Amino acid sequence: MLSSGELMCPPAPSAPRTYVTLDGLRGIAALSIVLLHCFRFFGDFTWSSVALAVDLFFVLSGFVLAHAYEAKLPTGAAAFVKARVIRLYPLYLVGTLLGIIEALAAIHYGKGSIDWTWHKFWSALPFALVMLPTPGAMFPFNGVMWSIFFELFINVIWAAFWRPLQSTGTMVAVILLSASGLAVSVIWWGTLTGLGTSWGTFAGGAFRVSYSFFLGVLLYRLHKRIPLPKLPPWLLFVALPAILFLPLSTPARLAVAVLVLPWFVLLGSQVEPRGIIAAAAHQLGIASYAIYSVHKRLYLLSYAAVLQLLSLDLQLFAPWIGVAFLAALVPACLLLNHFIDQPARRSLAKWFGTSLVTERKNATQAP
């Protein structure tokens, strides 16, 4: 998913390179998801197309993981998968633990976003702790983690089939096949943004992540060879939410996911911001995975706690309560990354016997 700092992997043979514009795009996409999910704090954004941010995450992931790992896959495919699990698990666990707290409160008070019972709780818990979807709702403790599961799913596929996928021709064929499967899935289920979020649309989710991730890998291979205009980064930062908040039809959303969002990655790889914009983009990149992992559980817990303890409906204070929530969420997630995520990853690296080296200063992980 999403931060600078350290990663469990051997050093890359190529010279370090930062992609701060991509950091900023990822951070903006994560904040857009917050607005969508925390609807009582901000107002109703269900009419928007913000859920397409996940498709952008997958393209970004393919691009930056190709930058960090593709040259090393021939000698370390298993190490790559191990590094990805180590990278994603700590914040996944934090979000899941918040969901466990919410589930226990729901059982105690008889209220919650899910109709929890002790049977559901104990049935789901073992799966959740090892990052696997449950037989019922895929990730009942933290629903947004469906995309992290698919992130790991496609990472394993890439590692397992790295040899044929080294061929650009094979990669193009996989992308075209995935695009066809994605289009058929959208027609079959009548949705794009719902693909992969439930067992019923699992196959559609596989096509969704496969298309975007492998296109991101291909874009990384080609981005230095394609002559492109160098747009100012601030223009990309403004254009992305403008597109995500459009009330698009399902066919239009498919067109944006397939044809438009990859251009943000390609164009963003060509330019870097400076000054305060660069600093802000960099910090958003660091915080973005934590934001994605914990925002919905924190929102639901805080809303329910204030309602239960103070009989106060925070929805009455929207959107200002949402602004305050965001103002607290971003620095909190930066602290979470620094004091929880990074130390946990170092501990896991020691536990699994993986060397810990300084990562390129770039958001190379995805939600």
Is 365 inside any structural domain? no
148-203 pLDDT per residue, tens: 999 999 999 999 999 999 999 999 999 999 999 999 999 999 999 999 999 999 99
Number of domains in the chain: 1
Q: Is residue 363 part of a domain?
A: no
**What residues make up the domain containing 297?**
6-358
Cα dist from 70 to 15, 56, 64, 84, 367, whole Å:
14, 20, 10, 13, 19
Q: Is residue 366 in some structural domain?
A: no
What tens digit of pLDDT does each residue of 248-283 get?
Answer: 999 999 999 999 999 999 999 999 999 999 999 999
Q: What is the DSSP letter of 223?
A: T
**Is the residue at 1 inside a domain?**
no
pLDDT tens digit sequence for 302-350 = 999 999 899 999 999 999 999 999 999 999 999 999 999 999 999 999 9
Give the confidence band of 16 by pLDDT, cuts at 50, 70, 90.
low
Q: Is residue 364 part of a domain?
A: no
pLDDT over threshold 50, residue 360: no
Query: Are the CB atoms for 350 and 80 separated by under 8 Å?
Result: no
- C-alpha distances in Å from residue 196, one per residue of 42, 119, 201: 26, 25, 5
Q: Which two tokens stand for residue 266?
A: 């390609």
Q: What is the distance between the alpha carbons of residues 151 and 54, in angstroms, rounded to a whole number?
A: 10
Average pLDDT for 83-109 = 96
Sequence-separated contacts (24+) of 179-185 with Cβ below 8 Å: 179/211, 179/258, 181/206, 181/207, 181/210, 181/211, 182/207, 182/208, 182/211, 182/254, 182/258, 183/254
Decide: 37 and 295 in contact? Cβ < 8 Å: yes
pTM to 2 decimal places: 0.92
pLDDT over 90, % of the chain = 84
Residue at 237 is within a domain: yes
In a domain, 208, yes or no: yes
The pLDDT value given to residue 241 = 98
Does the pLDDT value for residue 117 go beyond 80? yes
| Any domain includes 88 | yes
